[in-house]
A and B are shown apart, each in its own frame.
Chain A
Amino acid sequence: DTEVTQTPKHLVMGMTNKKSLKCEQHMGHRAMYWYKQKAKKPPELMFVYSYEKLSINESVPSRFSPECPNSSLLNLHLHALQPEDSALYLCASSQPWSWPGELFFGEGSRLTVL
């Protein structure tokens, strides 16, 4: 199984809502990532979990709250978002400090904030 599964594929939420994005992988990878991607732009790193510990937070606003319940799951909790947070949110996984060490990406969750 070489898939990273993200749910939901599409999400529309108001600025006062609380929602979550979910990501799951069964490749035994111990690093998981959240990237944000605006249209026609490259992915921008938000968070990295390595061995279930938050290791990189790229100064992301607190309205985004990541969670890594176990080595297979990664959540992104969303609260009081702004319209400019509308984007494609990509989850990825990899095996730390390995070769080739590429990231495997999910199909993304398209978020629209009204």
Chain B
Amino acid sequence: AQTVTQSQPEMSVQEAETVTLSCTYDTSESDYYLFWYKQPPSRQMILVIRQEAYKQQNATENRFSVNFQKAAKSFSLKISDSQLGDAAMYFCAYRATQGGSEKLVFGKGTKLTVNP
């Protein structure tokens, strides 16, 4: 079974600075999909960024980018120019298959605090 590990329960960053959230995963599949989701106190899970494993180029979405290291099974999220609105729980997720269907397997999450 696939597992996702986020080793940082909490992180903090100063406004306008850069922060990196860590994620590692375990899988025997060669092609798969990885995601970072954000869950602010308003509670809706919002997709931040996604990466397909066969693409060597790291995904980027505005201030958000990933460092995808397939051999190391690492998928970290970098947030540049942090803003107060970035404060949230961040979940790393792996898209797994089960019983002919798909599901997301989540890590335990990292709570990000942005200090003004």
* Docked pose: A55 CA to B99 CA in angstroms: 7
Q: Which residue of B lies closest to A45 (CB)?
A: B103
Please tell me if A69 contacts chain B, counting CB pairs below 8 Å: no
- Which listed residue (A42, A45, A100, A107) contacts B107, Cβ 8 A? A42
Q: Considering the complex, which residues of chain B in the window 73-116 have a beta carbon less than 8 Å from any beta carbon of chain A? A: 89, 91, 95, 98-104, 106-109, 111
Contact A100–B43 (Cβ < 8 Å) = no
Q: Is B52 an interface residue (CB 8 A)?
A: yes
Q: Show the binding face of B for A, using Cβ within 8 Å.
A: 33, 35, 37, 42-47, 50, 52, 89, 91, 95, 98-104, 106-109, 111
Kindly state the interface size class of chain A when it binds its partner.
Answer: 20 to 34
Q: Are B44 and A106 in contact (CB under 8 A)?
A: yes
Q: Is the CB of A107 within 8 A of B44?
A: yes
Question: Does the CB pair A94–B52 fall under 8 Å?
Answer: no
A42 vs B101: C-alpha distance when bound (angstroms): 20
Provide the residues of chain A in CB contact with B33, threshold 8 Å: 99-101
Whether A97 and B106, one on each chain, are in contact in the complex, defined by CB atoms closer than 8 angstroms, is: no
Closest A-B pairs by Cβ, 4 of them: A42-B106, A105-B45, A55-B101, A107-B44
For this complex, 8 residue pairs linking A to B, each with C-beta atoms less than 8 Å apart, are: A42-B108, A43-B106, A45-B104, A92-B45, A96-B101, A100-B50, A101-B33, A107-B42
Q: A56 contacts B45, CB within 8 Å?
A: no
* Residues of chain B within 8 A of A55, CB atoms compared: 99-101
Q: A56 CA to B96 CA in the complex, in Å?
A: 12
Across-interface contacts of B50 in A (CB, < 8 A): 100, 102
Closest residue of chain A to B42 (Cβ to Cβ) is A107
Q: How far is the CA of A30 from the CA of B24 in the complex (A)?
A: 30
A31 on interface, CB distance cutoff 8 Å: yes
